[in-house]
Amino acid sequence: MRYKEIKKKIISKYESLPKNQKIIADYFIDNFDRIPFLSVQDISIATSRSVASIVRFAQRVGFKGFLEMREEIAQTLQGQIEKKQIFSLIDSSELKDDTLTHVANQDFENISQTIHLIDRSNFDKAVKIILKSENVFTAGLGVSFLLAEILAYQLNQVAVNAKTFTHNYASFLEQMLFLSKKDCIIALSLPPYSKETIESVKFAKSKGIKVISITNKEASPITFHSDVTLVVSSKNLLFTNSFAAISVIINAITTECALRNKIKAKAMLTALNDLVEKQDIVISE
């Protein structure tokens, strides 16, 4: 069994798991690379769940028990760990121990983990959906709304017709009423997860509209209503989400769209440059 297949087995069973076993599933997904080095007692302490619950979880997923599941994960990780690319972090011991250093270290780690987490086939599928769609709508609330606006803006820069769902006089659901199967939605969902965003993509999916989600976990609520999920690390020293890795994904999506649609992207760039020159709206160096 391959690395991705075990994770998929866990995620496929996720919604049918009892609440206490969902906590165990979250721990396995979030700490997948560490599982081979942990005992069932270690996981029991970390999740505040009984050893028996962890064994039952492994059986629900499709293994005889925890030991078989751990062994399977260990074998799949042998080749995976060798391929894993990790950025060198700033050595805090060589620099002044300050907030800037700590934040930079955390963001380097977020980007490194995201490069490892992103399934390249999912990334490819997401870009194909975007380029095939007549209209691309981005959605999110709170911090996710700001990121959704940036994503829509950058997609427009490379000739992708993108708009952001606003949150004023009309709810997301109301704005989705006129979407067709030729459109797609890119939804950003980061903790604390917005119920409105999740219910909206669930509604969109029921109408046959393609949904791409950008979220922080493979089993976050929005993933169960998405055609494609891109997982990013957004850990922060504060209670908010870090933008660093998400910005990389936004930039990567936009860049890949431009590379696959060079003629339209180049025409858009030329039009934008002409507009800037005619309107005289920038200061030349």
pLDDT of res. 105: 87
| pLDDT tens string 197-217 | 999 999 999 999 999 999 998
Q: What is the C-alpha to C-alpha distance for residues 20 and 29, in angstroms, rounded to an integer?
A: 15
Q: Phi-psi bin for 214: left (phi > 0), alpha (psi -120 to 50), beta?
A: beta
Helices (H), the chain: 3-14, 19-30, 40-47, 51-61, 66-83, 99-117, 120-132, 143-157, 172-176, 195-206, 244-260, 262-279
122: burial class by Cβ within 10 Å (0-12, 13-18, 19+)? middle
pLDDT of res. 43: 92
Task: Using the CB atoms, write b or e for 145-165: b if 16+ within 10 Å.
Answer: bebbebbbebbbbbbbebbbb
The single residue listed with the structure tokens 């050595």 is 91
- Dihedrals phi, psi of 162, to nearest 5 degrees: -125, 145
Alpha-carbon distances, residue 181 vs 65, 173, 177, 256, 282 (angstroms): 43, 15, 12, 23, 40
Cis peptide preceding 192, ω within 30 of 0: yes
8 Å CB contact between 187 and 197:
yes
Is the whole model's pTM more than 0.85, yes or no? no
Domains defined along the chain, listed by start = 3-83 (1.10.10.10), 118-275 (3.40.50.10490)
pLDDT of res. 271: 78
8 Å CB contact between 272 and 255:
no
The two beta strands, 136-139 and 210-215, are: unpaired
Segments of the chain with pLDDT less than 50: 81-88, 92, 94-95
pLDDT of res. 85: 44
pLDDT of res. 236: 85
pLDDT of res. 235: 86
8 Å CB contact between 10 and 25:
yes
pLDDT of res. 23: 93
Q: What is the C-alpha to C-alpha distance for residues 243 and 154, in angstroms, rounded to an integer?
A: 16
Element at 188 (helix H, strand E): strand 184-189
Q: What is the C-alpha to C-alpha distance for residues 59 and 162, in angstroms, rounded to an integer?
A: 45
pLDDT of res. 102: 83
Sign of the torsion angle spanned by Cα atoms 153, 139, 233, 8: negative
Q: Which two tokens stand for residue 40?
A: 């069932």
pLDDT of res. 73: 85
pLDDT of res. 100: 83
pLDDT of res. 18: 92
